[in-house]
Amino acid sequence: AQSVSQHNHHVILSEAASLELGCNYSYGGTVNLFWYVQYPGQHLQLLLKYFSGDPLVKGIKGFEAEFIKSKFSFNLRKPSVQWSDTAEYFCAVVPGSSNTGKLIFGQGTTLQVKP
């Protein structure tokens, strides 16, 4: 079965530190990839997405992610985090052949940024 693995469950950083959250998926075919963010007390929001083309995707709030097909990875990065980036981050995958659009989510990574 398809699955998504986020290796870091809880990350604590100081402001201005660089961030990289790992995401690996298990599916051999074409995939569409997403990162969602859930700020405290708010609903899930789309951070960025990859469908095709340039494997380096830029999203909102200075986030970017790189799709590395050979590694089945879609890691999220930000050069310098802010206290306001404290949130839970979810990686998600949809097989490109899907006719339901059903997203398969990872377990989530809680990011705590210390001021």
Position 99 contacts other proteins (CB under 8 A)? yes
Spatial CB neighbours of 17, under 8 Å, sequence gap ≥ 6: 80, 81, 113
| Only segment of 13-21, 62-70, 75-83, 99-107 that touches other proteins (CB under 8 A) | 99-107
Binding-residue pattern over the window 23 to 62 for other proteins, x denoting contact by CB under 8 A:
---------x-x-x-----xxxxx--x-x-----------
CA distance 78 to 82: 10
User: Residue type for 15, please?
Assistant: E
Binding-residue pattern over the window 56 to 95 for other proteins, x denoting contact by CB under 8 A:
----------------------------------x-x-xx
∠ CA(48), CA(51), CA(53), 5° rounding? 105
